[in-house]
Structure 1
């Protein structure tokens, strides 16, 4: 005699459940692996800011110095 399980309102024998269990485990493992790979990837550095679109090298240097001074004065207040 085979043990019976009720799945979705139907009686299913244990021999059927034993065949479906590996399939369910493979499906769950695949979904976990796919989601892990999808959320991975290159991490962006927090120190890298937006690009500076300066028209000359002097303007770029001025902007960089301004940002450094603003960050230094902002951290000194806290």
Structure 2
């Protein structure tokens, strides 16, 4: 025999309540942790001796990233 509980005027078996509890528990955990957050890549610091050199390096990296994205799009 199964223990019966009266909920909202209906008799519900304890095994159904246990299944519902586990479903809500694990469903909530899955929903709250589902999917990995997009990680931003940290670039190393630019150790330039002058601001012109730093500008050149940053522009070079931007163009290299743009070229790589164009190649991946094709």
TM-score normalised over the length of structure 2:
0.52
Gap change, CA 1:53 and 1:62, over 3 Å in 2: same
Instruction: List alignment gaps of at least 5 residues for structure 1.
Output: 1-12
Q: CA offset at residue 25 of structure 1? A: 0.7
Query: What is residue 54 of structure 1 aligned with on the other side?
Result: 46
Q: How many residues align?
A: 61
Query: What is residue 30 of structure 1 aligned with on the other side?
Result: 25
Q: CA RMSD in A?
A: 3.0
Q: Does 1:69 align with 2:71?
A: no
Query: What is the rounded CA distance, in whole Å, between the counterparts of 1:35 and 1:61 in structure 2?
Result: 45
Instruction: List alignment gaps of at least 5 residues for structure 2.
Output: 5-12
